[in-house]
Amino acid sequence: MRIIILGDIVGTPGRQAVTQAIPVLREQYSPDLIIANAENASNGTGLTPDLYKKLVKAGVDAFTLGDHVYKKNHIIPTLQRESNIIRPANLSHKALGNRYMKLSVGSPEDNLPNIYVFTVLGRIFMSLPASDPFECCDQLIDDIKRHDPTAIIITEVHAEATSEKVALGWYLNGRVSCVFGTHTHTPTADARILPPTLGDGSISDHPSPSGGTAYITDLGMCGPTGSVLGRRVDRVLTYMTTNMPAPFDVATVSPVTSGIVLDLNPNTRLATSIERIELQADTQQPPFTAH
């Protein structure tokens, strides 16, 4: 089984880059699913129902959201109605939307395991209050496994602090198929299959030949790299050098599509490969141009 997971889609340049990249990704990798974080898709903050529909049409199969989940509150009916989009799981139980999603691949005759995806927010340096992500992961994994013992589980950690993402990766090692980070919009160079955690709590020196939990601290963004985390450089520098207000408009320079390609063994439910991908968009071609 092969899944492509894309980082935070930022504004119009990010949406255009993803729309252009998906046919290339499907031809090159033949994924069973393409998942993307879409919490910055609407002008850099939030997601609207119309943009959700456009990204579905472009070929994104499922969506995660982060701390900007409710910034465009008219997305709430979509969160309640659609089964392929989730809110962060460790918000209040009164928060609207699905805490996790169940995705299927192949035909019924293939009898492949279901894929469950959930997102937890970090608590270090994050503005949206959330409950303990470690405890939330425990509860959701237990709940999923109780109802579907053969489930493949993928966990997104939408967090600011690298230490918190890495800690959650080790905490979930051997319990889920993949832990990936988002939110910081900067890709990290640590994509790997984690070595096993031993019975005494220590870490093995060597990865298991049969696979394990895939991990990366941050996927990076789908958006303009000629920017400060997707925002116009001049606007951010004005604010940082003068302390004067400046609108953080979404930049447009050098858009890319960033993410990972994840290979899973459906029998063991272990990851066998994780590869970081980054496709530079061609802004002289559709959908950036009218022709």
pTM of the entire structure?
A: 0.96
The three-state secondary structure class of 23 is helix
Q: How many CB atoms lie within 10 A of CB 160?
A: 17
Give the CATH architecture of domain 2-223+253-280: 4-Layer Sandwich (3.60)
Residues 6+ away with beta carbon under 8 Å from 202: none
Dihedral sign of CA atoms 150, 156, 162, 167 in order? negative
Is 279 in contact with 21 (CB distance < 8 Å)?
yes
Distance CA 269, CA 154 (A): 11
DSSP 8-state symbol, 108:
G
- Positions of the chain with pLDDT under 50: none
Distance CA 181, CA 220 (A): 9
Report pLDDT for 199.
84
Report pLDDT for 170.
97
Report pLDDT for 106.
86
The catalytic residue positions are 68
Report pLDDT for 89.
98
